[in-house]
Amino acid sequence: MKIIKYLPGTLVILLGFLVSTSSLEAQYNYITLKVPSGGQTLAYGISDGNIVGYTTMRSISYGFIYNGSSYTLLPGGTFALGIDGENVVGTYSSGTGSGGFVYNISNNDYPTFLAYPGALNLGFPI
pLDDT for 119:
61
The domain locations on the chain are: 41-114
pLDDT of residue 126: 38
Sequence-distant (≥ 6) Cβ neighbours of residue 53 within 8 angstroms: 33, 41, 42, 43, 44, 45, 63, 64, 66, 80
- Which is higher by pLDDT, 25 or 57? 57
If one compares 119 and 15, the residue with the highest pLDDT of the two is 119
pLDDT at 47: 95
pLDDT tens digit string along 4-32?
444 444 434 444 444 445 556 788 888 89
Q: Which residues contact 111 (CB under 8 A, 6 or more apart)?
A: 74, 75, 78, 88, 92, 101, 102, 103
DSSP letter at 117 equals T
pLDDT of residue 18: 47
Instruction: In whole angstroms, give the CA distance from residue 90 to residue 100.
Output: 6
pLDDT band at residue 122, thresholds of 50, 70 and 90? low
Q: pLDDT at position 61, please?
A: 94
Least confidently predicted of 38-42, 46-50, 94-98? 94-98
For residues 85 and 121, the model is more confident at 85
- Digit-coded pLDDT (tens) for 95-118: 777 888 899 998 877 778 776 666
